[in-house]
Amino acid sequence: MSRCPFLDYESNSLFGNSSDEYICKECGKHMPVDSSEVKYVCKAEYGDEYKKCHIYQNS
């Protein structure tokens, strides 16, 4: 698994992860844990997809 170094995880619930979210430390964008952007770009199972992200490239 490849994970963007700018991706941060914030837990907001005691049980489960229904209100938890990922946060891009570069742009401040908040994304739910089941976001397709997180799954396929920021925290992809294969490859370094986050390196194609314009935010990552411009940092």
- In this structure, are residues 48 and 32 in contact, taking their beta carbons and an 8 Å threshold? no
37 closest CA partner among 25, 24, 26, 19: 24
Q: Residue 18: is its pLDDT beyond 80?
A: no
Q: Residue 39: is its pLDDT beyond 90?
A: yes
β partners of residue 30: 23
- The proportion of the chain whose per-residue pLDDT surpasses 70, expressed as a percent, equals 97
Average pLDDT of the residues in 14-32: 89
- In this structure, are residues 57 and 29 in contact, taking their beta carbons and an 8 Å threshold? no
Confidence of residue 47 (pLDDT cuts 50, 70, 90): very high
